[in-house]
Chain A
């Protein structure tokens, strides 16, 4: 009974993203059962584990928009042997980075004070809220990233191909048809 082959351990998280990449991960559908034969999940929204322990593969969706994002990203880098940026928010900043050319304070005022539909009109200032950064950063500009998986979100096929390549210890290869920046 001993010597059961250790399963590959995977952690995932979504920073400044929309959870679309995570939704696409679930779109591998029944192959999730095949995946679970090969891997076990550490911290991920699927398990609700709050902190990342030592892992083989870390998959990060979303860019770095605030102090909490940076903390989580560093925790992933420290604990994961291989770190993967999934989706354009993690790779380029994407739509959240549209605010990068707007002064942060102007941005807050526009959203919480000036917008005609706003009630209460106050800028949130609770100590529980993470401090926002001046810009949204792609994750490779904060920590070293080993692989990039494109697509907004990457199609389930691309995620499956990418993950199975990695799990088998191969260099992940994404065909022309599956390489999409949108």
Chain B
């Protein structure tokens, strides 16, 4: 099945199996997102990419595109909802930007900038969360985890190591490490693993690499989250290039 959909009035083509997000990114139409990464199977947990499709609110990263679907994306109402979601993510963890090595390269922070988040709006949780420095090359700081599962997906689907998982329910959901001790140092994860490089925040950090980029040269000093995500898409394409993909 293929055809076209419209996103905010713009006609966007899609091919069989593509989601609204796939079609949008391929056409250079930006739908804000955090847990989606075109290299991995969609997860649909952050809800930033919720759009109105044929009158219903759906996560665009998991919703298959269908012929003549009418999608509404870039509206003040939806962007306010997205901002509220980012505000919730900020107060739910311990995101201390000035003291974080990921600052300037963090997608959660960049989502705040993109959606013009000016206030925390909600009360801070200050949840007690664990820091795991047991691995010789990788830090795991759960204070900054937003449960996007990108590391879970990367470790399971690309690295074939299954190092990470999510445990618990609701507000008690948390990232766990698949080793008897629960420590990252007791897994076979290495610094070259895909899972070590997909965290959108500063929850997974490579040791001895902090603050190497001066202020002004960091990713989101130079581009918006929109530009970053559209470039990320270009790096993944073309799926059906000369090599057949």
Contact = CB atoms under 8 A, between A and B. Distances in A.
Contact of A88 (B94, B97, B118, B123): B97
B116 interface: yes
Contact of A100 (B97, B103, B109, B126): B126
Contacts of A182: 97-98, 100, 103-104, 109
Given A148-B119, A150-B118, A95 B98 contact: yes
Given A91-B119, A138-B120, A181 B109 contact: yes
Contact of B120 (A91, A98, A179, A180): A91
B200 interface: no
A94 interface: yes
Contact of A92 (B109, B120, B224): B120
Interface string B106-133: 0001001100101110011011110000
Given A150-B118, A179-B116, A93 B98 contact: no
A60 to B, nearest CB: 14
Contact of A95 (B96, B118, B224): B96
Interface residues of A, number: 25
Contact of A141 (B94, B109, B123): B123
- Size range of the chain B interface in the assembly: 20 to 34
Contacts of A152: 97-98
B119 A88 contact: no
Contacts of B1: none
Contacts of B109: 181-182
Interface string B83-111: 00000001000111111100110000100
Given A88-B98, A152-B98, A181-B112, A97 B126 contact: yes
Contact of A98 (B96, B113, B129, B224): B96
Given A92-B96, A181-B112, A182-B104, A176 B120 contact: no
Contacts of A174: 118
Contacts of A91: 119-120
Contacts of B104: 182
A141 B124 contact: yes
Interface of A: 88, 91-95, 97-98, 100-101, 135, 138, 140-141, 145, 147-148, 150, 152, 174, 176, 179-182
17 contacts: A88-B97, A88-B98, A92-B96, A93-B126, A97-B124, A101-B94, A101-B129, A135-B126, A147-B118, A152-B98, A176-B113, A181-B103, A181-B112, A181-B113, A182-B100, A182-B103, A182-B109
Interface of B: 90, 94-100, 103-104, 109, 112-113, 116, 118-120, 123-124, 126-129, 224
